[in-house]
Amino acid sequence: VRKHFPRGLFSDGILRTGIALREGMAFLGRIAKPLRAAVLDGLLTNLSLLVGERIWFGEFFHFPAWSYGAIATVPALAVVGSMFFLGLYTRRKLSIARAIGGVLMGYIILSAMTFFFNQYAFSRMVVLLAGLISLFALPGWRLLSRTLFQSRHDHRRSLFGRRTLIVGAENSGQDLLRKLRTRVDDGYEGVGF
Per-residue pLDDT of 156-181, as tens digits, reads 444 455 677 777 767 777 787 777 77
Least Cα distance to 103 among 133, 68, 141, 124 occurs for 133
**List of E strands, the chain:** 162-165, 188-192
Q: Are strands 188-192 and 162-165 parallel, antiparallel or unpaired?
A: parallel
Give pLDDT tens digits for 82-131. Answer: 998 888 887 777 788 888 999 999 989 888 887 777 766 667 788 889 98
Give pLDDT tens digits for 134-148. Answer: 999 999 988 888 888
Residues 6+ apart with CB under 8 A from 52: 125, 126, 127, 128, 129, 130, 133
Least Cα distance to 51 among 36, 61, 42, 41 occurs for 61
What secondary structure, in 3-state letters, does 28-80 show? HHHHHHHHHHHHHHHHHHHHHHHHHHHHHHCCCCCCCHHHHHHHHHHHHHHHH
pLDDT value, residue 44:
93
User: How far is the C-alpha of 186 from the C-alpha of 176, rounded, in Å?
Assistant: 14
Amino acid 49 reads L
